[in-house]
Structure 1
Amino acid sequence: MSDLIVGRESVGASRSASDLYRAVWRWHFYASLLVLPFMFTLAITGGIYLFKDEIEATIHSDLKRVEAQPGINRAAPSAMVAAALAVHPGIAVKFTDPATPDASAEITVGTQGEGRLVVYVNPYTAEVLGALPDHGTVMWRIRNLHSLKYFGNHARMLIEITAGWSILLVVTGIYLWPRRQTGGVLSVRGTPKRRVFWRDMHAVTGILVGFFIVFLAITGMPWSGVWGGKVNEWANGNNFGYPAGVRVAVPMSDEHLDHIAKTSWSLEQAQVPQSPGHAHHAQPIGLDDAVATFDRFGLHRGYVVNMPTKADGVFTGSVYPDDLSRQRVVHLDQYSGTPLIDMSYADYGPLGKSLEWGINTHLGQQFGLANQVVLLAACVAIILLAASAAVMWWKRRPAGSLGVPPMPADKRIFRVLIAILAIGGVLFPLVGLSLVSMLGLDRLYVRSRRLRSI
């Protein structure tokens, strides 16, 4: 009798393990179905964007590169702006300091007939080299594809869904990773004609790149449509959106920094101060003096100066180099040149610092070339992971069927897994909504299969 009881317990344990495996496999399949097409696109565009500076310097070399002239003083910023406006009449709103001795200056001009243009000027001769639409470079197009901005603001919500399901994909994939076999664990068996080759390729690639998928998903979340926006408001929405310790005892406008200048994630909610001198009919200091002040303050070369367009506006100097410690934003009173607010990466709180570090690493900037090469290898591996999953599924699926893995015999196992997944859905609302939608589609699929079998 005792042997019979032990046998039943063994069968029960084996069945429970089998049911859990089926439930995990089923949701791994659904996560793949939902996420892999986006991961494929994100990996391609992300891998290209890692080398944005190098690519743009080559593609737009006629605009972005000049012959360095050591010992020759640069033309005054106001002279460069005047040259740009002579060719493209309008209102100059931004001046970008040349980052290196062989880089051109960039003047952003608002025109009536051509919209916003970036005019490239030789900083030594003030010669206009040409112009492109604002955010019209090749890398800006790649960036907009990567962030799905080309498809509207609502499409950005897919970033959050993709990130959440990518993490689910990795977690379930680790559980499904083969352990009780010698081949297909860290080696690939067979040839591309056989399904085992693609299964092993998928398993080996997945276990090697899983960490990077989770890292890129988490560090990409700040750009997501719902979660990223709400966390940004929560983290930076108080005290005018400035980090603790930054003096804000100056008149503030209703304009946010993110609306007038490219800024860091931590400062998107920061409001722009006002120049108090406008009430006393003072004379503006002008761009040349503002640039001289930013130089004296030691802003990293390549900083951007946003010029005031209103009587109470300010000169804003901002720079976000690869070195996080050199990030800085300075607002100057346009009449006295007095710094109203001066902040840097050191002023961010713990959350801001960690998120900025993650974003910088995500962009391939934090650790230089090594950062770029490692993430490029991860992107290539993600493409291979997605391709091997598609081929493996195509070879496995029955004719005329989607090939959804079977339901577990014990539905309680499935319910426990759903409860665990629901926790992630609460933390990431859009992921939760997509989870509910997928559950509904799964039930419809099961019901349709039953009706066909009758």
Structure 2
Amino acid sequence: MKKNRQLNQWLWKWHFIAGLISLPFIILLSITGGLYLFKADYEASKHKDIKEVVVQGAPISLQQQWEIANKNAIKKPNTMILTSAANQATEFISGRFGGKSSLYVNPYSGAVSGEIITRDTTMFKIRKLHGELLSGKFGTKIVELIASWMMVLILTGLYVWWPDRGRKIKGVFIPRMNEGKRTFYRDIHAITGFWISGLLLLILAGGFPWTDVVGENFKQLQKITNTGYPATWKGHQLQSKDKGDALTLDQMAAKAEDLQLPGTVMIHFPKGPKSVFSVSNVNPSDLNTQKKIHFDQYSGQQILSNNWDDVGILMRGRMWVMAFHQGEFGAWSWWLMLLTAIALTIMSISALVSYVMRKRKGNWGIPKVPVTFKIGYGIMVSIVILAIVFPLFGISLLLIISTEYLRAKIKKS
């Protein structure tokens, strides 16, 4: 394909600007993202003394364990995890997300083996660094801005990389080893970027649901199109019929076990005398198996069952890309995310090295574009679409263009 040379220069300029804005942050995000992939292994080792117990005879009832948890937890538990092995402590959960805490009860002795407060863990801090630079809402918006510019980096980078007619394999698909250090680092950056570009776009899609602007807009779109969770998923509007004593937790656990749900199975406790028991499972490796089932807390009768097919298409797509982003589809996806994080780090560092070698003293080295070059309608429409979908990108782009315009005016005057 014969490329438009002026368009190539213009896109390279914006690729360059996008890199200057975001590259240091991208290195940080790729490293912290790679570290967070080790969360399960790290916490299994660190919290082994809390989560694992010595099997000693017959366990006490789950109802007794629930009462122990209610007395000892920082906040009253709202959920219990069904244990899958005899040497596991019973986990009682309070709160959600950053406010989550898990209290573990030894099912044999009734002793509290420990409580894990999510916000105090090392991996939570790494996640906060990855998602908001440890700066709250402001940091979240910075990360969203960087992720938006990464879309520009990928799209412009692919065009700049695209080979002209007659280019050989070396320098296009594999790096050139014998044409100097700057060429080598440039090739490492460009070629690695080509090989992982599709993955990066998918990983970015999995990160945007956590953002403040794009994520919130997506939630609003789900509401408007009614493509999120069904209204019955949480079961807030469902009621139990008060007829005598409520089921014990042991009776409810037996019903949950009979469902034979894959993954991590949770029992959600009734919030009052009229509310219901709910059973759900988390199984990112096969989202289609996830369910939410509600039971009358007195009779134990199943009131309603929601399958994954009942969840709207936008929410299902959102949960899929988020699970992919975290490497939760099994060992293959975990390794794929780790290798991508490593490749992104290498690609970013090689870009910086290549830039330092190319840069002249007293000059930013921004590629020059002929003043006669005019942006085509296709490019303009693409920019408008990106600015609408990624509003922070649009705002930052207006600021950059306004600054360039004012600087040019000042030079003329």
Preserved CA contact (<8 Å) 2:228 2:315: no
Q: Which residue of 1 aligns with 2:154?
A: 170
Q: Which residue of 1 aligns with 2:190?
A: 203
Q: Which residue of 2 aligns with 1:11?
A: none
Please show how residues 364-403 of structure 1 align to structure 2 within 5 Å: 364-366=327-329, 368-403=330-365
Distance between the aligned counterparts of 2:16 and 2:278, measured in 1? 50
Q: Which residue of 1 aligns with 2:316?
A: 353
Per mean C-alpha deviation after superposition, the further-off stretch among 231-240 and 382-391 is 231-240
1:94 aligned onto 2:79: yes
Per mean C-alpha deviation after superposition, the further-off stretch among 423-432 and 96-105 is 96-105
Q: Which residue of 2 aligns with 1:409?
A: 371
Counterpart amino acid of residue 223 in structure 1: W
Preserved CA contact (<8 Å) 2:229 2:315: no
- Please state whether the residue corresponding to 1:91 is helix, strand or coil: coil
Residue 134 (structure 1) shift: 4.0
State the Cα deviation string for residues 357-406 of structure 1 (Å, max 9, x = none): 2222222112x111111111111001111111122222222212322221
- Please state whether the residue corresponding to 1:323 is helix, strand or coil: helix
Preserved CA contact (<8 Å) 2:227 2:315: no
Q: Which residue of 1 aligns with 2:139?
A: 155
What is the TM-score with the length of structure 1 in the denominator? 0.78
- Which residue of the other structure, out of 389, 395, 400, is the alignment partner of 1:427? 389
Q: Which residue of 2 aligns with 1:80?
A: 65
- Which residue of the other structure, out of 194, 199, 205, is the alignment partner of 2:181? 194
- Please state whether the residue corresponding to 2:154 is helix, strand or coil: helix
- Please state whether the residue corresponding to 1:385 is helix, strand or coil: helix
- Which residue of the other structure, out of 315, 337, 344, is the alignment partner of 2:277? 315
Distance between the aligned counterparts of 1:57 and 1:125, measured in 2? 22
Q: Which residue of 2 aligns with 1:224?
A: 211
- Which residue of the other structure, out of 299, 304, 308, is the alignment partner of 1:336? 299
Preserved CA contact (<8 Å) 1:108 1:134: no
Q: Which residue of 1 aligns with 2:24?
A: 37
Residues 385 and 228 (structure 1), Cα distance of their counterparts in 2 relative to 1, 3 Å cut: same
State the Cα deviation string for residues 312-342 of structure 1 (Å, max 9, x = none): 4333322212321331222333333333332
Per mean C-alpha deviation after superposition, the further-off stretch among 139-148 and 168-177 is 139-148
State the Cα deviation string for residues 155-196 of structure 1 (Å, max 9, x = none): 333444333322221111111116254442233335898322
Q: Which residue of 2 aligns with 1:108?
A: 93
Q: Which residue of 1 aligns with 2:253?
A: 291
Residue 427 (structure 1) shift: 2.7
Preserved CA contact (<8 Å) 2:154 2:197: yes
The aligned length equals 405
Q: Which residue of 1 aligns with 2:15?
A: 28
Preserved CA contact (<8 Å) 1:23 1:417: no
Per mean C-alpha deviation after superposition, the further-off stretch among 385-394 and 423-432 is 423-432
- Please state whether the residue corresponding to 2:191 is helix, strand or coil: helix
Preserved CA contact (<8 Å) 1:99 1:303: no
Preserved CA contact (<8 Å) 1:303 1:319: yes
Please show how residues 234-249 of structure 1 align to structure 2 within 5 Å: 234-236=221-223, 242-243=229-230, 248=232
- Please state whether the residue corresponding to 2:264 is helix, strand or coil: coil
Distance between the aligned counterparts of 1:392 and 1:39, measured in 2? 16
Counterpart amino acid of residue 40 in structure 1: I
State the Cα deviation string for residues 195-248 of structure 1 (Å, max 9, x = none): 2221111112111111111111122222221222222233256779544xx8x5
Q: Which residue of 2 aligns with 1:264?
A: none
State the Cα deviation string for residues 396-430 of structure 1 (Å, max 9, x = none): 22212322221333241388644431221123323
Preserved CA contact (<8 Å) 1:408 1:414: no
Gaps of at least 5 residues in structure 2 are none
Distance between the aligned counterparts of 1:116 and 1:353, measured in 2? 24
- Which residue of the other structure, out of 236, 242, 246, is the alignment partner of 1:272? 236
- Please state whether the residue corresponding to 2:171 is helix, strand or coil: coil
Residues 151 and 89 (structure 1), Cα distance of their counterparts in 2 relative to 1, 3 Å cut: closer
CA RMSD of aligned residues (A): 3.3
Preserved CA contact (<8 Å) 1:320 1:327: yes
Gaps of at least 5 residues in structure 1 are 1-13, 249-266
Counterpart amino acid of residue 230 in structure 1: N
Distance between the aligned counterparts of 1:218 and 1:398, measured in 2? 37
Residues 150 and 307 (structure 1), Cα distance of their counterparts in 2 relative to 1, 3 Å cut: farther
1:179 aligned onto 2:163: yes
Distance between the aligned counterparts of 1:167 and 1:435, measured in 2? 13
Counterpart amino acid of residue 211 in structure 2: S
Counterpart amino acid of residue 407 in structure 1: V
Counterpart amino acid of residue 252 in structure 2: A
Residues 314 and 230 (structure 1), Cα distance of their counterparts in 2 relative to 1, 3 Å cut: farther
State the Cα deviation string for residues 240-262 of structure 1 (Å, max 9, x = none): 9544xx8x5xxxxxxxxxxxxxx
Residue 444 (structure 1) shift: 4.2
Preserved CA contact (<8 Å) 2:104 2:114: yes
Counterpart amino acid of residue 298 in structure 1: Q
Residues 240 and 228 (structure 1), Cα distance of their counterparts in 2 relative to 1, 3 Å cut: closer
- Please state whether the residue corresponding to 2:294 is helix, strand or coil: strand
Residue 26 (structure 1) shift: 0.9
What is the TM-score with the length of structure 2 in the denominator? 0.85
- Please state whether the residue corresponding to 2:78 is helix, strand or coil: strand
Distance between the aligned counterparts of 1:240 and 1:79, measured in 2? 41
Distance between the aligned counterparts of 2:40 and 2:209, measured in 1? 23
1:141 aligned onto 2:125: yes
Q: Which residue of 1 aligns with 2:405?
A: 443
